[in-house]
Amino acid sequence: MDRIYLDNSATTRVDKRVADAVYEYMTEKFGNPSSAHSYGQEAKYALDDAREKVAKVIGASVGEIFFTSGGTEADNWALRGIADQYLDHGKPVHVITTEFEHSAVYEMCKYYTKLYPELFSATFLKPNAKGAVTAEMVSKAVCENTKLVSVMHVNNEIGVINDIGSIGKPCRDKGIIFHTDAVQSFTKVPIDVKSMNIDILSASSHKIYGPKGVGMLYLRKKVALLPNQFGGHQESNMRTGTENLPGIVGFAKAAEISYTDMNEEIPRITGLRNRLYELISAGVDGIIVNSDLENGYGGILNITFPGIEGEALLLSLDLEGIAVSTGSACSTGHVTPSRVLTSIGLTAEQAQSSIRLSVGRFNTLEEIEFAAQKVVENVKRLREMMN
């Protein structure tokens, strides 16, 4: 069997239909959307069309979509673009976010706390037993200076789905801007920015079988945000610079495919993830499941295997051609346990004994069953070595 890729939350293989569209806009239709000639017009038409497609899948209008270089840029921009409006005038800003947020939000908040010790503060909400935060928790943390709430939709490590709709409502009522990092949920879980009271949303192309280095920020029409880049006139002066048109066309194509197939993909992927769980739990004793198998996103299975190192299991599986991940950050030989797993109550040791298996569009039942068997074999072997 060829290699098996079970790390679809890290990135995905570009769909052939998307790659074809990208290629067309790199070779034949390579014009600059700002050029007045026919090449430029052709490119401008494609840019407008891409914006329309991406807007449609979240119930937004075209003027509310700004293309970026990915999820990280959109997350950083959301925070900076709101906070700087106050900080630049010496006014205090309080942000409510979570302990399990992606680093693109979490580290940005930490950075601003250091940069503006007198003016900027952030509350990092601790999740409940299911790994989620609720509207009630958010409401309790609101103070006089709260300008922004940033809560991710689907968590990238454990797949928990936060009830974004219910969190958005009190924010809107209180006039606080609500941002959600929807990088893991965009076109995989239904999103409607209007009924969910979302003011700003981040999404990324490479998580949905599109190219890397492209994503977007949705900004509700009435919300003021500072521009992210200065220069020309592109993206309504909000994020200037010549657009990554092949990437944007690919992103839009990927979003269109994923959105169209969403109702069939959710049960298929959930079924594969459940089969993976069923086989692993039948073959290995004492596992802890960190994903909410009933209500979480169906593509993510995070498991703790007490007694072994997650990194050791990852490497053993890699030798067998199976790609999984751990949430641990490894730098200069020192492994830091996953912040997400410790936030839901795991000890550092348990967090380091965990792996994430993430299922995607191209996985088959045969792959899942083979991978489960290899997980079981390798956990048993590693546990024997530890005894």
Ligand X SMILES: Cc1ncc(COP(=O)(O)O)c(C=O)c1O
- Which residues contact residue 42 at a Cβ distance below 8 angstroms, ignoring those fewer than 6 apart? 29, 31
Q: Rounded to the nearest whole angstrom, what is the least distance from the CB of residue 168 to ligand X in the complex?
A: 18
**Long-range residue pairs from 235-239, CB within 8 A, at least 24 positions apart, any chain:** 235/66, 235/67, 236/63, 236/66, 238/66, 239/66, 239/67, 239/68, 239/77
Q: Rounded to the nearest whole angstrom, what is the least distance from the CB of residue 302 to ligand X in the complex?
A: 13
Stretch that binds ligand X, among 71-79, 138-146, 238-246, 340-348 (CB under 6 A): 71-79
Active site residue 171: no
x-marked contacts with ligand X along 203-242 as a string, rule CB under 6 A:
-x-x--------x---------------------------
Stretch that binds ligand X, among 33-41, 64-72, 280-288, 329-337 (CB under 6 A): 64-72
Q: What are phi and psi of 345, to 5 degrees?
A: 105, 5
The answer to whether 338 contacts ligand X (rule: CB under 6 A) is no
Which residue is catalytic, options 109, 143, 171, 330? 330
Position of minimal CB gap to ligand X = 71
Q: Rounded to the nearest whole angstrom, what is the least distance from the CB of residue 74 to ligand X in the complex?
A: 8
Residue in 33, 53, 67, 70 binding ligand X, rule: CB under 6 A:
70
The answer to whether 147 contacts ligand X (rule: CB under 6 A) is no
Task: Please report how the helices 365-386 and 245-283 are oriented relative to each other, as an axis angle in degrees rounded to 10.
Answer: 60
* Residue 308 neighbours by CB distance under 10 Å: 23
The answer to whether 104 contacts ligand X (rule: CB under 6 A) is yes
Instruction: Give the tokens for residue 275.
Output: 């089969």
Residue in 78, 152, 308, 379 binding ligand X, rule: CB under 6 A:
152
Q: Rounded to the nearest whole angstrom, what is the least distance from the CB of residue 55 to ligand X in the complex?
A: 19
Q: Rounded to the nearest whole angstrom, what is the least distance from the CB of residue 171 to ligand X in the complex?
A: 19
The answer to whether 8 contacts ligand X (rule: CB under 6 A) is no
Are residues 156 and 177 in contact, defined by beta-carbon separation less than 8 angstroms? no
Identify which of residues 75 and 292 has a Cβ nearer to ligand X in the complex. Answer: 75
Instruction: Give the tokens for residue 233.
Output: 């006139």
Binding residues for ligand X, rule: CB under 6 A, are 70-72, 75, 102, 104, 152, 156, 181, 183-184, 204, 206, 215
The catalytic residue positions are 330
